[in-house]
Structure 1
Amino acid sequence: MSYKIAAASSDGIYVDRHFGHADLFYITEISDGGMCRFLEKRTVLSPCRHGVHDLQIMQEAVKLIADCQYVLCEAVGAGAAAILGQHHITPLETDESIDNAIRNIILYKKRVKNLQRTCS
């Protein structure tokens, strides 16, 4: 089954935004065979306002990426992580390139799938 990954990035190359400071997410779809396809950029309002988080804006940002299984961000706070978890989105902190981070997710999912097969 295919899945989507959102990356908090200012340039579409590196994961360089804290989730609460992100105003742009790059969305990539991963096919069953592990092929990547960039879908789109999604613009959101940044939930963090000089250290104060706007809960409504935070929830709206999460809803905008609710079709994604993972979100890549430079950092994520406990409150944002909890809201993401309620929407079944796994936040992953990294400062890698988007491509490298996605390759690592694909590799991880393949290893888990292989492990499940051998343990069944």
Structure 2
Amino acid sequence: MTIQVAVASVDGLAVNQHFGRAERFLIYRIGEDGRTELAEDRPVRRACGNGDHETEALAAAAAALADCRFALVARIGPAAEKALAKRGVLAFETAGPVESALGKLAAHLSRSRSRTAPASPDSSALVNPIPLQFNPTTTKE
């Protein structure tokens, strides 16, 4: 089964964008073999500005990522995190190269598949449900 991952990136090279400030997300696919491929560059309406978020724009950004299982972001606020979780998307705060973060996520998914069938996302689990060894630079535990 292929899993889609939304990545918040300013430059396309690093996970370095706050969820609410993102005007686009790079959508990657991770195959069962662990290979990753860029599927699309998806524009969204920026949800935050000057420290405030626009509820409608936040919901629209989360809805735009509803076909993804995970979102990799530099930072995410609690309202955005909950909006994503409500749609079955688990958010992870991380930083560093996109390929490295995706590789670690793919490795974790591979280990999970070998132990049991992957569980569906739990909407009550929010930031960082993957063990800490996944996160290149965890900001929350």
* Shorter-normalised TM range: over 0.9
**Equivalent pairs: percent with the same residue?**
28
Deviates more, 1:3-12 or 1:30-39: 30-39
Structure 1 or 2: larger helix share? Answer: 1
Between the two structures, name the one with larger relative contact order (CA 8 Å, sep ≥ 6): 1
Unaligned 5+ segments in structure 1 are none
Is this contact kept in 1: 2:69–2:88, CA < 8 A?
Answer: yes
Aligned-residue RMSD, C-alpha? 1.2
Unaligned 5+ segments in structure 2 are 118-141
* Amino acid corresponding to residue 46 of structure 2 in structure 1: S
TM-score normalised to the size of structure 2? 0.79
SS in 2 for 1:12: coil
Between Structure 1 and Structure 2, how many residues are aligned? 117
In structure 1, the residue matched to 2:9 is 9
Tell me how far apart the structure 2 counterparts of residues 50 and 5 of structure 1 sit (CA, whole Å): 27
Please show how residues 32-111 of structure 1 align to structure 2 within 5 Å: 32-111=32-111
Is this contact kept in 1: 2:75–2:94, CA < 8 A?
Answer: yes
* Amino acid corresponding to residue 104 of structure 1 in structure 2: K
Is this contact kept in 1: 2:29–2:36, CA < 8 A?
Answer: yes
SS in 2 for 1:62: helix
Query: Which is greater in Rg?
Result: 1
Deviation above 6 Å: which 4+ runs of structure 1?
none
Tell me how far apart the structure 2 counterparts of residues 116 and 9 of structure 1 sit (CA, whole Å): 32
Please show how residues 15-26 of structure 1 align to structure 2 within 5 Å: 15-26=15-26
Tell me how far apart the structure 1 counterparts of residues 31 and 110 of structure 2 sit (CA, whole Å): 12
Shift of 1:115: 2.6
Deviates more, 1:81-90 or 1:107-116: 107-116
Shift of 1:116: 2.6
TM-score normalised to the size of structure 1? 0.92
